[in-house]
Amino acid sequence: MKQEKQARNRIRRISLVVVMLLSMSSSTLAAEKIALGVHFSNQQDVLGKWIDLIYTEAFRRIGMEMEYKELPYKRGDAMVDAGEIDGVLARPKNYGDLHPSLIRVEEAAPIDSLGAFATEAGLQLQGWESLKGMAGVIEYPRGFVLAEINLPKLVTPEQISPSDNLVQSLKKLAAGRIHLLLAPASILGQLLRSEEFANSGIRNVGAMQDVELFAYLQSKHAETAVKLAEALRSMKTEGLFEQYRATAEEATKKAQ
């Protein structure tokens, strides 16, 4: 009886050890989560969906899970500066000049064009300098750093109008209430293909510049930033960026 009791005790101890090891293993395998602010919808916007696909896979490759938080530009800026989120995505290369505490991930993902959209027949623009001396109101997404830096150098303050809603901006453009709308070409192109704007007469009249979009992380994620850049470079070499763009375009068509 004594030997039987000792055997049962040994079995219980072994069982407890196994349970503890399994628990430790599962917690070790669980991917660390990282919350990042993005100012595009990953359900409705082709650029947002494209960004989501790229970074979800990139973080998966380095053993992390991304939490995509859709936030307006300024709200995302405020939250990352306050340390309430781990970083932001889709910011221009010089974003760090305004947020020096953040670390840039040294691989652009993706690259989009900042387009100019208008209804004026014959209007053609190329680069920021082509806006110099232009008449009329120019709108852009509120918080868009490149527009906030460049427009004041080229037109009067009264002509500059930040927008909180690109659909409303397109309606104003179609009605002649603004002269020009600056925004990511992928998103405006998507909106202009919709039934609401298909016959609006709005067209892409040129590009201000190609925009390399970067991730910026809190300084505590310095090691992650290096690993993430390596993962993004590998994915770009594999041709995944363009594959994901096609997937994003198809997915957002269905969402419209």
Place of tokens 């957002």: 252
Q: Exposed, middle or buried by CB within 10 Å (0-12, 13-18, 19+), for 41?
A: middle
Q: Please identify, among 178, 195, 211, the residue that sits at the C-terminal boundary of a domain.
A: 211
What one-letter code names the amino acid at 243? Q
Q: What CATH number has the domain bearing residue 165?
A: 3.40.190.10
Instruction: Give the SS3 label for residue 181.
Output: strand
Between these two residues, 8 and 135, which has the higher pLDDT value? Answer: 135
Global pTM value: 0.76
Task: List, as one string, the DSSP characters of 45-75.
Answer: -HHHHHHHHHHHHHHHHTTEEEEEEE--HHH
Q: Is residue 80, in this structure, part of any structural domain at all?
A: yes
Per-residue pLDDT, averaged over 229-236, amounts to 98
The share of the chain scoring above pLDDT 90, in percent, equals: 73
pLDDT at position 26 is 40
Residues 119 and 177 in one domain: yes
Q: Is residue 16, in this structure, part of any structural domain at all?
A: no
What is the chain's mean pLDDT, rounded? 89
Task: List pLDDT tens digits, range 31-53.
Answer: 899 999 999 899 989 999 999 99
Instruction: Give the SS3 label for residue 90.
Output: strand
Place of tokens 């009067």: 156
Q: Is residue 92, in this structure, part of any structural domain at all?
A: yes
Q: Is residue 100, in this structure, part of any structural domain at all?
A: yes
Residues 243 and 116 in one domain: no
- The torsion angles phi and psi of 202, rounded to 5 degrees, stand at -80, 135
